[in-house]
Amino acid sequence: MSRLLSLIGLFLLVITFNTQSQEVKTIDEKGLSNLLKNRDGSILFINFWATWCVPCREEFPDIVKLAKNFPKVEYVAVSLDHPDEIKSKIEPFLKKMKAPFNNYVAKFKDDQVLIEMINKDWNGAIPATAIYSSNGKEVGFYPKKMSYTELEKELKKVIK
């Protein structure tokens, strides 16, 4: 009976994590700032994408693969679709991808604020990925589509 309860508990836990990871919340300037700064000892891998961006959709499965292969890193994906497209566009794509991490959609008064927060040299082309160290310092910024090999190589530089 005890084993059955444990298994049910584990099953519910997995379901909860999976459901949470594919739910999309909005993130604003304050939320992003907190995410970037309050690392609490964890490396952050953050990807900016959109359902309208073909190279972003092509890159996404490799980020999912990376998250599975390097689970100690915190992964976050920020969609640049409109917040009112969560149910119609963003979540269906994420469910298809089985994205095992936290997903947001940007809700900024001005996208330029978001761009400047991530990297001054970023001009807004997506996909773009940034890696932050455990103390909240940006240690890698890649404003382009990357292959799995490239993603892994850059992440390994940070994990060591």
| Cβ atoms of 78 and 27 closer than 8 Å | yes
158 belongs to the binding site for other proteins (CB under 8 A): yes
142 belongs to the binding site for other proteins (CB under 8 A): yes
List 28, 29, 85, 138, residue binding other proteins (CB under 8 A): 138
- For residue 5, how far is the Cα from the chain centroid? 33
List 74, 76, 90, 104, residue binding other proteins (CB under 8 A): 74
Q: At what angle do helices 54-69 and 148-159 cross, to 10 degrees?
A: 50
Structure tokens at 37: 């700064």
Size of the site for other proteins (CB under 8 A): 54
Q: Which stretch binds other proteins (CB under 8 A): 21-29, 61-69, 91-99, 114-122?
A: 114-122
96 belongs to the binding site for other proteins (CB under 8 A): no
55 belongs to the binding site for other proteins (CB under 8 A): yes
H or E element that contains 129:
strand 128-132
List 53, 76, 77, 151, residue binding other proteins (CB under 8 A): 53
Q: What amino acid is encoded at 83 in this protein?
A: P
Q: Is 8 exposed, middle or buried (0-12, 13-18, 19+ CB in 10 A)?
A: exposed
Structure tokens at 141: 């910024």
* Residues found near other proteins in the complex (CB under 8 A): 2-3, 5-6, 9-10, 13, 17, 39-43, 50, 52-55, 71-74, 80, 82, 110-112, 115-116, 121-127, 131, 133-135, 137-145, 154, 157-160
